[in-house]
Amino acid sequence: MLGNFSYKNATKLYFGEDSLSYLNEELPRYGKNVVLIYGGGSIKKNGIYDDVLAILKANGKNVVEDGGVMPNPTADKLREGVKLARAHNADLLLAVGGGSCCDYAKAVSVSVHCDEDPWDKYFARFEEPDCEIVPVGCVLTMTGTGSEMNGGSVITNHDTHQKIGHVFGDEVMPKFAILNPRYTMSLPKRQMVAGIYDIFNHICEQYFSGEDDNVSDDLAEALMKSVIRNSLVAIEDPENYEARSNIMWAATWALNTLISRGKTTDWMVHMLGQAAGAYTDATHGMTLSAVSLPYYRHILPYGLQKFRRFAIGVWGVDAAGKTDEEIANAGLLAMEQWMRKLGVAMRLSELGATEDMIEGIADATIILKGGYKVLDRAEVIEILRKSL
Task: Assess if residue 129 is contained within a domain.
Answer: yes
How confident is residue 97, by pLDDT bands cut at 50, 70 and 90? very high
Helix axes 324-342, 189-207, angle to 10 degrees: 160
Q: How many domains does the chain have?
A: 2
Mean pLDDT of 358-373: 96
CATH number for 53? 3.40.50.1970
Query: Do 374 and 309 share a domain, yes or no?
Result: yes
> In this structure, is residue 1 part of a structural domain?
no
What is d(CA 100, CA 38) in angstroms, rounded to the nearest whole number?
A: 9
Residue 142 C-alpha from the chain's centroid: 11
Last residue of a domain, one of 162, 183, 204: 183
* pTM of the predicted structure, to 2 decimals: 0.94
Residues 6 or more apart whose CB falls under 8 angstroms from that of 201 comprise 269, 270, 285, 288, 289, 292
Look at residue 114 and tell me if it is in a domain. yes
Write down which residue in 183, 198, 217 finishes a domain: 183
In the predicted model, what is the mean pLDDT of residues 218-224? 97
End residue of a domain, out of 148, 166, 183:
183
What percent of the chain is predicted at pLDDT more than 70? 99
Predicted pLDDT at 3: 75
Residues 264, 45: Cα–Cα separation, whole Å: 43
- CB-based contacts of 337: which residues, under 8 Å, 6+ apart? none
**Do residues 172 and 211 share a domain?**
no
Domain span holding position 46: 12-183
The answer as to whether 135 is a domain residue is yes
The answer to whether position 130 is within a domain reads yes
Long-range contacts of 61-66 (CB under 8 A, 24+ apart): 61/27, 61/32, 61/33, 61/34, 62/32, 62/33, 62/34, 62/88, 63/34, 63/35, 63/36, 64/33, 64/34, 64/35, 64/36, 64/88, 65/35, 65/36, 65/38, 66/35, 66/36, 66/37, 66/38, 66/108
Question: pLDDT by residue (tens digit) across 278-331?
Answer: 999 999 999 999 999 999 999 999 999 999 999 999 999 999 999 999 999 999
Q: How confident is the model at residue 214 (pLDDT cuts 50, 70, 90)?
A: confident
